[in-house]
Structure 1
Amino acid sequence: MTTLLEGIEQRSVRTDRLEASVLRAPGTDAASADAAPIVLIHGNVSSSLFFQPLMQALPRPSIAIDLRGFGDSETLPVDATRGLRDLSDDVAGVLDALGVSGAHLVGWSMGGGVVLQLLLDRPELVRSVTLQAPVPPQGFGTRLDGTLCTPDAAGTGGLGANPDFIARLAAGDTTADAPTSPRSVFRSSYVAADFDDGREDLWVESMLSTRTGEGNQPGDGVASDAWPGFAAGDRGILNAMSGKHLDLTGIVGIAAKPPVLWIRGAHDAIVADESFFDLHTLGKHGIVPGWPGEEAAPPQPMVAQTRAVLDAYAAASGAYREVIFEGAGHSPHLEDPERFARELLAHVATAD
């Protein structure tokens, strides 16, 4: 049974695409009841449950949506050849079904890419954008300028996932018996060291709601002549974020540019300029053998890539603000929800 915190309600929303699970909170300020809602989109191996402390801290209405194959939403395959469009189209369908004509979108990690894709395809729905530790805008397996390191995005996609972690997800492992268990990964990668809010079981529950398989997490893959011997396939979540299929740089050219807030943790282990979730970084440090060197397989500068695209967005009449949470890891909204709420509300006020 899904664990809900005080003040959070769950409902199912039927659209023409899927049956989606949605969390809603009315906000703490009755005067804000009719304000445009804040819509929260989670990342990979998580669900809307992760947003509950933030929703409790917000004075205005908020909505958190479980993406397909996560949380309590319907399990449907992801067509990775569309990048993240299967997910952003699902979000648009939920907002249409709820009668939401304009919202302030917040995307965490993979959810940041979903929000940017929604901005490209349904800009009328987006009043402001908040990106938290977003997926690099040109996808994984790319250089600083966004070009692919190899034409097939070698080293990215479904075959890059740790198979023991996927097996433990599928088995519902709640232990911390191995570094690859979901609980251990949460402690080492989702948050900064020593974080403890007393709700770790809830966050592990959320992670374990991830559905596994070639159509979902992690996806399929293909053999490659390039190191490390495999490349992105066309099905599933990790392939949808590969540079083979994902390119969100079109936001630079859109006519109406909502303001962007970019929040990241200083100790983010997942989205970083030399992340150990990047096969090229693992190769450089000798963890994966046979690395062909910096010229052929450079560690991906994920933060620098996001900054470069947002700089171009600002130069083309947009605006963005970068905020670093010095004590946080990959999840500032969870690690400091009160501060996150303050930053978010100040940002939203510029676009109301």
Structure 2
Amino acid sequence: MTLLDGITSRTIDTRRLSVGILERAGDDPATPAERTVVLVHGNVSSSLFWQEIMQDLPSDVRVIAVDLRGFGSTENAPIDATRGVRDFSDDLFATLESLGIPAAHLVGWSMGGGVVMQYALDHPVLSLTLQAPVSPYGFGGTRRDGSRLTDDDAGTGGGGANPDFVQRLTDRDTTDEAQTSPRSVFRSGYVSGGYAGENEDLWVESMLTTSTAEGNYPGDGVASDNWPGFAAGTIGVLNTMSPKHFDVSAIVQLSPKPPILWIHGTADAIVSDTSFFDLNYLGQLGVVPGWPGADVAPAQEMVSQTRDVLDAYRAAGGSVTEVELEGVGHAPHLERPAEFRQALLAAIGYLGTPVDPAPPTEAIILRSAD
């Protein structure tokens, strides 16, 4: 692995599997929970993606980035998708248990947002930061209210993965010669067109840690009589987020309710009300032929669903802050690290070295209420 200055890696044995984590040299294991931050990556990535923000956080904050199973340096144990993302969240609990951390501030990106929401349903947390999170109702196949479009969740899960992209992950393709190469997908899907970071090779390296062994990415699919002809399977990464298996909207009923920060960009190509990774939206655009129409297969309103659930969380007594970044893609922590850092430190109630008091002009805090 390529590690940036001050970042260290190790593998720890838990009661479930061996887990890779990144830490910062000099962080104190005795740091209290209220200043401990745990970072959880998303799909087709790893803890390597968090390194820049790890470097930027104050020295008296303990920060740990965890590799989910089948990513980074964690074991590629098979994933039982019928449990939703619980294999991931249970692994995370076992990891923090091994580290002697009973509770912490959890940060989840994309699929990792779903993992930390599931974690909060099962275990105490101090706060949740959701960066471009998967909708609380899963990925694909639902109406605005979260109701499933079909009994078999057609068009969701492992069958929707592009086979050439999967093969290029397996082959560890680092080129940009095809639209389906990991590097091209990073540029078109993970960040907006204005991103010009110096560590793109590292982000591609992180994507290429994805295990494509059976039971990992992408997972299986089954034939369906419903458009587009396949439905969710039972193993692997993409099936964990099928609405057949995944629904964390019950966070509205949590008691006590940890404060939530939701940070996302307006130019996100993956998690959006018009997602280019949603088969129904691609059908609406004519990219996938035979689309049966919006009455049968509407595009999933992912951002609106998240806002609806978090509005309900707030109405039920929870504290929610939404930060929307204009023109930013799926990775605010890469594209706008200063804004992300400021929002995160505010979310965890950091009382150490003051951060810039003036809000950045690019960040729009839409709602902040207790």
TM-score (norm 2): 0.91
Indicate whether 1:111 and 2:115 are aligned. Answer: no
Task: Give SS of 2:127's match.
Answer: strand
Q: In structure 2, what residue type is equivalent to 1:127? A: L
Q: In structure 1, what residue type is equivalent to 2:297? A: A
Partner in structure 1 of residue 169 of structure 2? 169
Q: How many corresponding residue pairs?
A: 349
CA, structure 1 residues 351+310, in 2 after alignment: closer, same or farther (shift >3 Å)? farther
| Partner deviation per Cα, 1:61-81 (whole Å, 9 max, x = no partner) | 100000000001111011000
In the alignment, the residues of structure 1 paired with residue 25 and residue 126 of structure 2 have an alpha-carbon distance, to the nearest angstrom, of 19
Counterparts of 1:78-93 in structure 2, within 5 Å, are 78-93=79-94
1:127–1:351 Cα contact (<8 Å) kept: no
Task: Give SS of 2:101's match.
Answer: coil
| Partner deviation per Cα, 1:41-68 (whole Å, 9 max, x = no partner) | 0000000000000001101110000000
Partner in structure 2 of residue 314 of structure 1? 314
In the alignment, the residues of structure 1 paired with residue 145 and residue 108 of structure 2 have an alpha-carbon distance, to the nearest angstrom, of 23
Indicate whether 1:260 and 2:256 are aligned. Answer: no
Partner in structure 1 of residue 367 of structure 2? none
1:28–1:57 Cα contact (<8 Å) kept: no
In the alignment, the residues of structure 2 paired with residue 131 and residue 144 of structure 1 have an alpha-carbon distance, to the nearest angstrom, of 20
Q: Structure 2, unaligned stretches of length 5 or more?
A: 353-370
In the alignment, the residues of structure 2 paired with residue 27 and residue 286 of structure 1 have an alpha-carbon distance, to the nearest angstrom, of 53
Partner in structure 1 of residue 356 of structure 2? none
| Partner deviation per Cα, 1:191-233 (whole Å, 9 max, x = no partner) | 1103111111100000000001341100001111100000000
| Partner deviation per Cα, 1:249-273 (whole Å, 9 max, x = no partner) | 1111121100000000111000000
Pairwise CA RMSD of aligned residues?
1.9
Partner in structure 2 of residue 23 of structure 1? 22
In the alignment, the residues of structure 2 paired with residue 27 and residue 154 of structure 1 have an alpha-carbon distance, to the nearest angstrom, of 49
Partner in structure 1 of residue 67 of structure 2? 66
In the alignment, the residues of structure 2 paired with residue 334 and residue 247 of structure 1 have an alpha-carbon distance, to the nearest angstrom, of 28
Counterparts of 1:217-232 in structure 2, within 5 Å, are 217-232=217-232
Counterparts of 1:28-39 in structure 2, within 5 Å, are 35-39=34-38
Q: In structure 1, what residue type is equivalent to 2:125? A: V
Indicate whether 1:8 and 2:11 are aligned. Answer: no
CA, structure 1 residues 35+250, in 2 after alignment: closer, same or farther (shift >3 Å)? closer
Partner in structure 2 of residue 131 of structure 1? 130
| Partner deviation per Cα, 1:226-255 (whole Å, 9 max, x = no partner) | 000000000000000000100101111121
Residue 327 of structure 1: how far off its partner (Å): 3.4
Partner in structure 2 of residue 43 of structure 1? 42
Indicate whether 1:186 and 2:186 are aligned. Answer: yes
In the alignment, the residues of structure 2 paired with residue 312 and residue 91 of structure 1 have an alpha-carbon distance, to the nearest angstrom, of 27
1:143–1:300 Cα contact (<8 Å) kept: yes
Question: Percent identity over the alignment?
Answer: 60
Q: Which moved more, 1:318-327 or 1:231-240?
A: 318-327
1:128–1:259 Cα contact (<8 Å) kept: yes
1:128–1:351 Cα contact (<8 Å) kept: no
1:328–1:335 Cα contact (<8 Å) kept: yes
Partner in structure 1 of residue 245 of structure 2? 245
2:68–2:88 Cα contact (<8 Å) kept: yes
Task: Give SS of 1:349's match.
Answer: coil
Task: Give SS of 1:21's match.
Answer: strand
TM-score (norm 1): 0.96
Partner in structure 1 of residue 54 of structure 2? 55
CA, structure 1 residues 195+316, in 2 after alignment: closer, same or farther (shift >3 Å)? same
In the alignment, the residues of structure 1 paired with residue 351 and residue 18 of structure 2 have an alpha-carbon distance, to the nearest angstrom, of 31
Q: In structure 1, what residue type is equivalent to 2:100? A: G
In the alignment, the residues of structure 2 paired with residue 30 and residue 232 of structure 1 have an alpha-carbon distance, to the nearest angstrom, of 41
In the alignment, the residues of structure 1 paired with residue 79 and residue 33 of structure 2 have an alpha-carbon distance, to the nearest angstrom, of 34
Q: In structure 1, what residue type is equivalent to 2:302? A: M
